[in-house]
Amino acid sequence: METPNQNGAEAHIKVSTLNCIDLSNPDIHQSVSLLKQACLDCGFFYVVNHGISQEFMEEVFAQSKNFFRWPLNEKMKLLRNEKHRGYTPVLDELLDPDNQVHGDYKEGYYIGVEAPEDDPDSEKPFYGPNVWPADGVLPGWRQTMEKFHHEALEVAKAIARVIALALDLEVDFFDKPEMLGKPIATLRLLHYEGQISDPSKGIYGAGAHSDYGLITLLATDDVMGLQICKDKDAKPQKWEYVAPIKGAFIVNLGDMLERWSNCIFKSTLHRVLGNGQERYSVAYFVEPSHDCLVECLPTCKSEENPPKFPPIRCGTYLSQRYRDTHAELSVYNKHQT
């Protein structure tokens, strides 16, 4: 594991201690207990023995590097569209406008659930065909990413079953067709080019934010960079690094699950600080179906603790969050000529 070179940006390095959920553990009660403790504490935990081989994960990272090594003008031909599929350039995303001078010093690539143009669902904001590099340009690239997308969804569903039990729901609560039976699931390849972050100057690999949706699975290389803030209201905020563990996913809860659980489970602020080294990660964002109504779970409300949020459709909620954090596509028109 690479140790961050803080370059004066932080006084010291503190690494967070997170619970580790073993999906192969036959003792489901132990897994539920560990996950519940993590969700009440900080909403971040590790998941191991998840069923995706280390060899395949290495292939995903190798193919990600193959794409990001392309010249910018080639990558811009695959610029993200209004469905949030395709390439996102450096500075495209601004996650923490109160503290960031520029956007994030990272580039990315969005891959969603593939829906053909003639599918009625393709009219919805987060469904539709993906943007792919031309056949033959990156051999095996599309096949690798589609396979990972499929396998990561199965991992996410397994985690969601443990979350359901931790919330005193039926184990298959999130498996319903309107939830993870037809999910909005987005794979995002990420590349941090080696910029040195400096919070005092508003320069970040990724600005402080909480994720929008249900859960996020993150695989990362061995370069440290991810930080979490367990108490966003503390003054000053205290940030801790999350150490990469080979073969593990780092999993965190999103704002939608915090809303669904009536704030019983936490969605936690996190950010990425660059230390001058290149860093690659693969994020997998999992949300319920577009039409799912997110309203307070029956086990998370009472007379003493009434619902804190009104019901909202998943697609409506996500569309607004994406609009709030991404640049208007019109700013890239000069690259399209």
Read off the pLDDT of residues 266-276 as tens digits, 9 standing for 90 and up: 899 999 999 99
Average pLDDT across the chain, whole number: 89
User: Rounded to the nearest 5°, which phi and psi values hold at 315?
Assistant: -60, -40
pLDDT given at position 219: 98
Contact 156, 284 (CB under 8 A): yes
- For residue 9, is pLDDT > 90? no
Examine the pLDDT at 5 and tell me if it is beyond 90: no
**CA nearest to 124, candidates 298, 305, 287, 296:** 287
What is the share, in percent, of the chain residues with pLDDT greater than 70? Answer: 92
| Per-residue pLDDT, 308 | 96
Structure tokens belonging to residue 266:
């936490």
Residue 332's pLDDT band (cuts 50, 70, 90): low
Residue 192 main-chain phi, psi, to 5 deg: -105, 120
| Average pLDDT estimate for 57-82 | 94
* Residue 4, pLDDT above cutoff 60: no
Tell whether the model's pLDDT for residue 1 goes beyond 70. no
Would you say residue 84 has pLDDT above 90?
A: no
Query: Is 11's pLDDT higher than 80?
Result: no
Helix or strand (DSSP H, E) at 21: strand 20-22
Q: What value does the mean pLDDT take over residues 95-121?
A: 85
Structure confidence at residue 316 (pLDDT): 86
Residue 330 confidence (pLDDT)? 64
SS3 assignment, position 227: strand
Q: What is the mean pLDDT of residues 298-313?
A: 94
pLDDT at 325 (0 to 100) = 65
pLDDT digits (tens, 9 = 90+) for 247-263: 999 999 999 999 999 99
Task: Give the integer Cα–Cα distance in Å for 194 and 77.
Answer: 24
- Kindly list the distances between the CA atom of residue 136 and the CA atoms of 45, 141, 142, 267, in Å, as whole numbers in the listed order: 39, 9, 10, 41
pLDDT for 6:
41
Q: How far apart are CA 262 and CA 304, in angstroms?
A: 12
What CATH class does 20-329 carry? mainly beta
Alpha carbon distance 119, 105 (integer Å)? 36
- Where along the chain do its domains lie? 20-329
> Which region holds residue 263: left if phi is over 0, alpha if psi is between -120 and 50, else beta?
left
Rounded to 5 degrees, φ, ψ at 219 are -110, 140
At 171-194, the pLDDT tens digits run: 999 999 989 988 989 999 999 998
Instruction: Give the three-state DSSP class for 86.
Output: strand
CA–CA separation, 280 and 67 (whole Å): 12
